[in-house]
Structure 1
Amino acid sequence: MTFPLLLIPGLNCTERAFVPLLGSLWPLASVTLVNHRRGDSMAAIAGAILAEAPPRFALLGFSMGGYIAFEMLRQAPERVERLCCLATMARPDTAEQAENRRRMIALAEQGRFDQVIGANFPNTVHPDNVDSLELRDLHASMARETGAETYVAQQRAILARPDSRPDLAGIRVPTSVVVGEADMVTGVDGAREIAGGVPGAELTVIAGAGHMVPLEQPDAVGEALAKWLRR
């Protein structure tokens, strides 16, 4: 018998970020791709998702989706049956990361959103994939579909998010942490910190992938997720 699984996309991502994983997930769970574009804070975004979610569910958060997942756990821990943190971190931004977000917000508000998209892409993939036109086009099309206004609102929500590290020890559900070996956005260290903080969490580092790990190495990610769902 399958159970509900909520998939939360990342910043500038749509449901298309998860499409390559669906073949691995559908036999094991009833998959819902959630809308993370409502609300101007982590609390509001998480609340909107919880209002429409089943009574109990498994939860997978990709990048920004992980920040939202941590907030959902703060609001309704009893409803989450298992957790997957995919290319995300629990720690707040460094000063440098926060300043870069503010620069990107300013560019988007000046009508230079395409510049933001182009500047961000190389940092989101493994160095071997920087020249992939397929990944570049998918990254750009998802961002344009999300739009500059949502991008700005979500970046501001990310900047204001709480530090989730104090909550890690209280997470008592089967937890998987998956990250690309060359993740330059949330980083392998950020993933290790989550895995080390959540009791019994399992860490998987995916070779040949950067931050866009579900698109870069979907078979390896799908294998890790299937193992998590069968735990």
Structure 2
Amino acid sequence: MAGTPLVMLPGLLNTRRLFEHQIAGLSDIADCIVPELWHHDTMAALAGAALAAAPRRFALAGFSMGGYVAFEILRQAPERVERLALLDTQAVPDTPEATKRRQGLLEQTKIGRFHGVRPSLLRQIVHRSHLRDTAITQPIVDMAREVGAEGFVRQQTAIMGRPDSRPLLVDIRVPTLVIVGREDRATPPPQSQKMAADIATSRLVVVEECGHMSPLEKPDDVTAALRGWLTP
């Protein structure tokens, strides 16, 4: 029997490798599709490309920036989404301070100073207990290298231009899973708690001893939560 079509949307400087554990662990119940999200510089275009690669109806899981793309998919084609999972993401737009930081990174990148993911950034996105675990940190570095400077510029441009997705939340009616690392500093748990509170059909899972990169940091926990969401 064919599995549930599951479109999985990676985050900033991420590739399919982010979800390797989930793809393998859910292979008996899900047929996973992971679009490359670094070829366009608007959320509308990224969502359109993901929809073009997806079947008519599918479950949708978005991590971090992938969550922003998931919200745009809900704007463009809500009738195609059967289930929704939001991992370490947020519905709010950037603050002016966050936009300024992103613009600074883009300026550095455009003059050739793109260095991928450095140790200083890893400390911001990975739980302190995982910083010496190369099974977690090396994929993050490798994925950033694969996306590269041009992909990074396009992704950051799309992120800065994204709309406020909070008005969408109250209209979501499909089974929804919200996952967040307990010590996620990039998209802190209060943001996930607010999203879950506004989505009537949601369930919130807080992953302990975990930073922002939950699919890599706590793969068993994330895969188990997704399995329960896909097979309620």
Which one-letter code corresponds to 1:202 in the other structure? R
Match of 2:14 in 1: 13
Distance 1:153 1:108 in 2: 11
Q: Write the distance in 2 (CA, Å) between the matches of 1:168 and 1:158.
A: 19
- Say if 2:117 and 2:140, in contact at 8 Å, map to a contact too: no
**Counterpart amino acid of residue 61 in structure 1:** G
TM-score, normalised relative to structure 1? 0.95
Is 1:128 the counterpart of 2:92? The answer is: no
Which is further off, 104-113 or 51-60? 104-113
1:29-61: CA deviation from partner (whole Å, max 9, x where unpaired): 111111222321000110111122101000000
| Bigger Cα displacement from structure 2, 195-204 vs 94-103 | 94-103
Q: Is the 8 A contact 1:7 1:61 kept in 2?
A: yes
Aligned alpha-carbon RMSD (Å): 1.4
Separation in 2, partners of 1:133, 1:54: 35
Show the counterpart of 1:31. Answer: 32
Distance (whole Å) between structure 1 residues aligned to residue 36 and residue 154 of structure 2: 14
| 1:155-203 Cα distance to aligned partner (Å, 9 max, x none) | 0110010000000000110000001111011111111111111112000
Structure 1 counterpart of 2:197: 196
Structure 1 residues 56 and 115: CA distance shift in structure 2, 3 A: closer
Alpha-carbon distance between aligned partners in 1 of 2:97 and 2:128, rounded to the nearest angstrom: 22
Q: Percent identity among equivalent residues? A: 46
Instruction: Note if 1:110 corresponds to 2:99.
Output: no
Distance 2:48 2:103 in 1: 25
2:81 is the alignment partner of 1:80: yes
In the alignment of these two chains, the number of paired residues is 231
| Matched residue, 1:56 | 57
User: SS in structure 1 opposite 2:115?
Assistant: helix
Alignment partner of 2:33: what SS?
Answer: strand
Which letter maps to 1:53? A
**Residue of structure 1 in register with 2:149 after alignment:** 148
**TM-score by structure 2 length?**
0.95
1:81-96 correspondence runs (5 A) = 81-96=82-97
Q: Mind listing any 5+ residue stretches in structure 1 that lack a counterpart?
A: none
Between the aligned partners of 2:58 and 2:116, the Cα distance in structure 1 is 38
Amino acid at match of 1:35: E
Residue 20 of structure 1, CA deviation:
1.5
Secondary structure of the residue that 1:18 maps to in structure 2?
helix
Q: Is the 8 A contact 1:117 1:143 kept in 2?
A: no
CA distance in 2 between partners of 1:34 and 1:56 (Å): 16
Aligned to 1:69: 70
